[in-house]
């Protein structure tokens, strides 16, 4: 009997370690007005934020669970602890961070990456930032990179109030409302007019506590003509109870500004990742999304771009790897709301060992978006017949003066491609390994080298057999 | 005026964001339904028995539409055709793919609301082409369901020509057994709204289907299409081609789903859609879905949506043809490619004349 080509699952050993959270402060599990009030008091919220949280909770209770995506029946919000404060305040020096937490980030390689290739780092442990620092020369240009709590109560309070959940409102969907009610942690970034940040900023989110939720809020404002690359990483150890991630990312890209937002998501396989990301782009501005989805039990993740200004553009590059026990529903959304806008989505998905991967997208072209262009390309690779791979792309075009294209392919490893490589001297095993590795290349080539290596390590494709 | 009921029909097999309003379509239907006229022009057919086979056939409009066709009162006119038998079948010309048996069916109605069902049974090794023409006239709504059972090694060709002025709900359900071949050709050149559901289950190994759909939507017409092909057998194949033009304030939705079920190994499905947008207020919605639960398959879809490209416009301009005429030529050309496939001179002429009427041109000019 022919032995099938086997692709090894993602090696999670480097992420699957945990520390006791006995010293941490926790709210009790569940979601009630009292818990939200208590959280608000813990966070020293201004009054408007306290009321915002309570209004969001009301909406959360009114909005139904989505009827169109993967099942989230295993998630019971009554069992989720919405706030876990680690036993430390935020530090600006790693040596001041408690040993167990520092060890966590050391093992994840964050301090090393900061020294080598980052302009600033924010590290969140459960519900709060434990470390935040930005290089002096970057700060000297006027770049603000701080935690959301400091921004909310400091000199940027008005700016936060003006932008907070204005792009993703609590009315959007049930988990946006949940985020509005119980958000904590996250980063605030402001890049002033004309400032180009040459090396990336990174926020890393680590959820250590079992049965907890993480609800960080990322708010980035890139002013006119400015340029930023922001990297987001996330991971958690595996528990036997459900964990929840319902973060929110709001990106404001100014006139002729450019923002690249890269994410390597590797939550543990007990995680429900119900995340919302959205960007609004002014005239001539550019948003680029690079997204690798590897972890989680269930994911709903579709970064959305609103091309509001004339000539604004969006690119989305994504790869999703769904293995055993995973149902990853990922993709992107774009709204062309102004003339001469353009968008390009390029995605790859791999399903194996019973994993379910769904590519879901929407391209909306309004009547005002004359001379706009959009192209969507999605490719899916099925590695066995106990998995699933679906593509559900939607297009809504309301102007004749648009040029919209879409293509999708789904299939298995091509015997012809294997034969081609073998005819050039490769073994069959190497040929198959090369094809699967190359399939995800569209994302890794868009990342800085260190992160591309991390992503390749994540995929860690080990091939064996297949001959005979 | 009869009782008006509202239904959600043409359901997408795998739904998506509700705000896109693509998961299904709401239709309001006059439930004071009478039978439509079904005129079968050739009467040399063996009548199909009302056997159990029909109950298993699901249609594109979905179960919500059942009440229109059957309901408690069963007011729809029901006709049936059966072709061939195991011993004495009309075999397809294996070289040309041409069906030997051709049957014309005219569907008309002068009632406010009418309905009809036609059952087509292609027995083993049989070969038949059924040309359904939905005639002009009327100002109400007509619902018509066509059920096709294509048995082993049969070839069934279903041509549907829509020329009507009234709102039409066209609902098709097909099952293809081993090595059966089903071709569906639909040309929509009417003035009313069209709700069109087509589902095909490729049940047997090596079953194959080809779908070609052409439409011209103009004024405030609504064209809503739900096409589903389920690959169940091994080595099954599907090819779907949808071509259309939208003018004025026409609104079109195309849901196209290729579903590779577990066990459909070595199957191939391909879907393409081209939409020419010629109106300033058109709405074009497209959702081409591939669902896949089988490793060894090949699925693809592609879509292009937009107005005539600059190269084409330049070509016409360099020959002294203005934009309006160029657009008419391209619109007619896209439809002509399809209606020339009918392979029936009388029906082709009918479509040509209808296009001339709805597009408002003399054939000599274009």
Contact predicate B236/B208, CB 8 Å: yes
Contact B20 A396 (CB under 8 A): yes
Task: Pick the residue of A400, A405, A416 with the most B CBs within 10 A to test the interface with B by mutation.
Answer: A400
Which chain B residues touch A389 with a CB distance below 8 Å?
Answer: 292
Which chain A residues touch B296 with a CB distance below 8 Å?
Answer: 385, 412
Q: What are phi and psi of A434, to 5 degrees?
A: -65, -40
DSSP notation for B152-182: TT-EEEEEEEE--SSEEEEEEEEEE-TT-EE
Query: d(Cα B302, Cα B217) in Å, to the nearest integer?
Result: 21
Of residues A280, A295, A135, the one with CA closest to residue A222 = A280
The predicted model gives B200-209 an average pLDDT of 98
Query: d(Cα B219, Cα B149) in Å, to the nearest integer?
Result: 37
Query: d(Cα A466, Cα B291) in Å, to the nearest integer?
Result: 27
Banded pLDDT at B57 (limits 50, 70, 90): very high
Which chain A residues touch B260 with a CB distance below 8 Å?
Answer: 410
- Among B277, B294, B309, the residue with its CB nearest the CB of A397 is B277
* Highest mean pLDDT out of A238-247, B10-19, B72-81: B10-19
The predicted model gives B303-314 an average pLDDT of 90
Instruction: Give yes or no for B20 touching A (CB within 8 A).
Output: yes
Q: Which residue of A has its CA nearest to B282?
A: A398
Q: How far is A412 from chain B (nearest CA, A)?
A: 6
Task: Pick the residue of B292, B298, B311 with the most A CBs within 10 A to test the interface with A by mutation.
Answer: B292
Contact predicate A299/A328, CB 8 Å: yes
A195 C-beta neighbours (distance < 10 Å), count = 18
Model pLDDT for residues B251-266, shown as the tens digit of each residue: 999 999 999 999 999 9
Contact predicate A286/A253, CB 8 Å: yes
Beta bridge partners of B243: B214, B274
**Angle value at C-alpha B260, between B92 and B208, nearest 5 degrees:** 5
Query: d(Cα B300, Cα B31) in Å, to the nearest integer?
Result: 40
| pLDDT for res A399 | 95
Contact A394 B307 (CB under 8 A): no
Residue A137 reports pLDDT greater than 70:
yes
- Among A367, A387, A391, the residue with its CB nearest the CB of B289 is A391
Which chain A residues touch B277 with a CB distance below 8 Å?
Answer: 397, 399-400, 402
Of residues A386, A329, A318, the one with CA closest to residue A358 = A329
What is the torsion angle, in degrees rounded to the nearest 10, for the CA atoms of residue B41, residue B42, residue B47 and residue B52?
A: -60
Crossing angle of helices A99-107 and A110-117, rounded to 10°: 60
Q: Is the dihedral of CA A265, A347, A392, A166 positive or negative?
A: positive
Residue A99 reports pLDDT greater than 70:
yes
Q: Which residue of B has its CA nearest to A352?
A: B295
3-state SS, residue B145? strand
Which chain A residues touch B283 with a CB distance below 8 Å?
Answer: 396-398
Task: Pick the residue of A406, A416, A418, A432 with the most B CBs within 10 A to test the interface with B by mutation.
Answer: A406
Contact A398 B282 (CB under 8 A): yes
| pLDDT for res A124 | 80
Query: d(Cα A185, Cα B8) in Å, to the nearest integer?
Result: 44
Model pLDDT for residues A410-430, shown as the tens digit of each residue: 988 878 888 898 999 988 777
Least confident of A207-221, A247-261, B86-100, B133-147: B86-100
Which chain A residues touch B295 with a CB distance below 8 Å?
Answer: 382-385, 387, 412
3-state SS, residue A443? helix
- Among A388, A395, A410, the residue with its CB nearest the CB of B299 is A410
| pLDDT for res B87 | 44
Residue B184 reports pLDDT greater than 70:
yes
Q: Is the dihedral of CA B79, B85, B90, B94 positive or negative?
A: positive
Beta bridge partners of A242: none
Contact B22 A394 (CB under 8 A): yes
| pLDDT for res B76 | 84
Contact B303 A389 (CB under 8 A): no
The predicted model gives A49-65 an average pLDDT of 97
Of residues A170, A148, A169, the one with CA closest to residue A159 = A148
Q: Is B361 exposed, middle or buried (0-12, 13-18, 19+ CB in 10 A)?
A: middle
Q: How far is B333 from chain A (nearest CA, A)?
A: 19
Residues 157-196 of B with CB under 8 A from A: none
Contact A396 B302 (CB under 8 A): no
ipTM (interface predicted TM): 0.92
- Among A393, A404, A411, the residue with its CB nearest the CB of B299 is A411
Contact B285 A402 (CB under 8 A): no
Which chain B residues touch A403 with a CB distance below 8 Å?
Answer: 305-306, 309
For A171-302, strand residue ranges (E) read 187-191, 201-206, 213-214, 217-222, 227-235, 243-245, 248-253, 258-266, 271-274, 276-281, 286-293, 298-301
CA atoms within 13 A on the CB side of B66: 10
* Between A407 and A461, residue with greater pLDDT: A407
Query: d(Cα A206, Cα A216) in Å, to the nearest integer?
Result: 11
The predicted model gives A206-225 an average pLDDT of 91
pLDDT mean across residues, chain B: 89
Least confident of A199-208, A304-313, B274-283: A199-208
Neighbouring residues of A439: CB distance < 8 A, sequence distance ≥ 6: A348, A350, A379, A381
Query: d(Cα B186, Cα B227) in Å, to the nearest integer?
Result: 12
Residue A170 reports pLDDT greater than 70:
yes
Taking any CB pair shorter than 8 Å as contact, residues of chain A touching chain B are 67-68, 360, 362, 367, 380, 382-385, 387-412
| pLDDT for res B92 | 43
Residues 48-67 of B with CB under 8 A from A: none
Residue B69 reports pLDDT greater than 80:
yes
Contact A394 B298 (CB under 8 A): no
CA atoms within 13 A on the CB side of B37: 13
- Among B16, B23, B293, the residue with its CB nearest the CB of A360 is B16
Residue B95 reports pLDDT greater than 90:
no
Model pLDDT for residues A356-391, shown as the tens digit of each residue: 999 999 999 999 999 999 999 999 998 888 999 999
Contact predicate B103/B129, CB 8 Å: yes
Least confident of A332-341, B44-53, B272-281: B44-53
Contact predicate A233/A207, CB 8 Å: no
Neighbouring residues of B46: CB distance < 8 A, sequence distance ≥ 6: B82, B83, B85
Residue A16 reports pLDDT greater than 70:
no
DSSP notation for A67-120: SSSS--TT--GGG-B--EE-SS--BSSGGGS-HHHHHHHHHTTHHHHHHHH-SE
The predicted model gives A49-58 an average pLDDT of 97
Regarding beta strands A372-382 and A402-411, do their DSSP bridges make them parallel or antiparallel, or are they unpaired? parallel
Contact predicate A189/A230, CB 8 Å: yes
């Amino acid at each position: 009997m022919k032995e099938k080509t086997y692709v090894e699952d993602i090696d999670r050993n480097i992420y699957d370690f945990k520390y006791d959270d006995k010293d941490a402060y926790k709210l009790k599990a569940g979601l009630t007005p009292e818990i939200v009030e208590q959280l608000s008091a813990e966070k020293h919220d201004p009054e408007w934020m306290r009321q915002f949280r309570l209004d969001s909770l009301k909406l959360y209770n009114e909005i139904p669970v989505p009827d169109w995506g993967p099942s989230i029946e295993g998630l019971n919000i009554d069992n989720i602890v919405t706030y876990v404060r680690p036993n430390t305040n935020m530090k600006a020096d790693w040596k001041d961070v408690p040993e167990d937490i520092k060890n966590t980030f050391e093992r994840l390689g964050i301090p090393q990456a900061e020294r080598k290739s980052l302009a600033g780092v924010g590290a969140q442990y459960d519900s709060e930032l434990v470390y935040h620092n930005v290089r002096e020369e970057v700060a000297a240009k006027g770049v603000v990179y701080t935690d959301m709590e400091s921004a909310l109560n400091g000199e940027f309070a008005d700016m936060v109030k003006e932008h907070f959940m204005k792009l993703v409102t609590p009315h959007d969907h049930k988990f946006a409302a949940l985020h509005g009610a119980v958000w904590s942690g996250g980063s605030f970034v402001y890049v002033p007019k004309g400032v180009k940040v040459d090396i990336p900023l990174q926020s890393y989110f680590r959820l250590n506590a079992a049965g907890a939720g993480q609800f960080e809020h990322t708010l980035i404002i890139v002013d006119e003509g400015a340029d930023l690359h922001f990297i987001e990483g996330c991971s958690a150890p595996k528990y036997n109870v459900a964990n929840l991630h319902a973060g929110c990312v709001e990106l404001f890209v100014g006139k002729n500004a450019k923002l690249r937002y890269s994410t390597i998501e590797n939550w543990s396989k007990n995680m429900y990742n119900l995340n919302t990301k959205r960007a609004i782009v002014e005239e001539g501005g550019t948003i680029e999304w690079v997204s690798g989805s590897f972890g989680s039990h269930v994911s709903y993740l579709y970064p959305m771009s609103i091309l509001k200004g004339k000539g604004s553009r969006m690119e989305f590059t994504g790869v999703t790897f769904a293995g055993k026990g995973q149902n990853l529903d990922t993709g992107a959304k774009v709204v062309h709301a102004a003339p001469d806008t353009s968008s390009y989505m390029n995605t790859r998905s791999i399903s194996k060992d019973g994993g379910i991967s769904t590519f879901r997208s929407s391209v909306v072209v309004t009547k005002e978006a004359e001379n706009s262009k959009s192209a969507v390309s999605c490719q899916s690779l099925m590695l066995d017949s106990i998995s699933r791979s679906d593509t559900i792309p939607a297009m809504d075009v309301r102007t004749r003066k648009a040029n919209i294209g879409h293509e999708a392919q789904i299939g298995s490893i091509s015997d012809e491609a294997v034969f081609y490589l073998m005819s050039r001297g490769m073994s069959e095993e190497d040929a198959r390994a090369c094809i699967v590795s190359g399939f995800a290349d569209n994302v890794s080539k868009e990342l800085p080298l260190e992160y591309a290596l991390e992503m390749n390590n994540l995929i860690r494709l080990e091939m064996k057999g297949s001959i005979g | 005026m009869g009782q008006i009921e509202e239904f959600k029909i043409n359901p997408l097999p795998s739904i998506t964001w509700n705000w896109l309003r693509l998961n299904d379509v709401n239709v309001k239907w006059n439930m004071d339904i009478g039978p439509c006229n079904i005129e079968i022009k050739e009467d040399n057919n063996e009548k199909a028995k009302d056997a159990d086979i029909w109950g298993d056939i699901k249609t594109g409009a979905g179960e919500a539409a059942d009440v229109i066709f059957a309901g408690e009162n069963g007011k729809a006119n029901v006709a049936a055709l059966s072709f061939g038998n195991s011993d004495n079948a009309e075999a397809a010309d294996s070289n040309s793919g041409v069906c030997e048996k051709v049957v014309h069916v005219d569907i008309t109605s002068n009632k406010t609301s009418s309905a009809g069902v036609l059952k087509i049974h292609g027995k083993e090794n049989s070969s038949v082409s059924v040309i359904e023409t939905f005639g002009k006239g009327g100002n109400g709504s007509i619902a018509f369901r066509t059920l096709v059972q294509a048995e082993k090694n049969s070839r069934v060709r279903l041509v549907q020509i829509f020329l009507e002025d009234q709102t039409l709900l066209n609902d098709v359900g097909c099952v293809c057994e081993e090595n059966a071949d089903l071709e569906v050709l639909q040309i929509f050149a009417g003035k009313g709204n069209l709700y069109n559901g087509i589902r095909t289950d490729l049940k047997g190994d090596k079953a194959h289907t080809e779908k070609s759909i052409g439409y011209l939507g103009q004024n405030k017409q609504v064209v809503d299409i739900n096409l589903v092909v389920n690959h169940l057998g091994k080595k099954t194949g599907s090819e779907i081609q949808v071509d259309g033009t939208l003018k004025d304030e026409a609104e079109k939705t195309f849901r196209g789903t290729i579903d590779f079920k577990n066990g459909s190994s070595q199957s191939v499905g391909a879907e393409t859609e081209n939409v020419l947008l010629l109106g300033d207020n058109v709405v074009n919605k497209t959702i081409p879905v591939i669902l896949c639960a089988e490793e060894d398959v090949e699925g693809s879809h592609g879509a292009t949506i937009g107005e005539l490209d600059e190269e084409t416009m330049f070509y016409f301009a360099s020959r002294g043809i203005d934009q309006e005429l160029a657009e008419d030529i391209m619109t007619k050309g896209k439809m002509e490619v399809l209606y020339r496939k009918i392979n029936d001179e009388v029906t082709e002429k009918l479509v040509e004349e209808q296009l001339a009427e709805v597009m408002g041109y003399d054939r000599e000019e274009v």
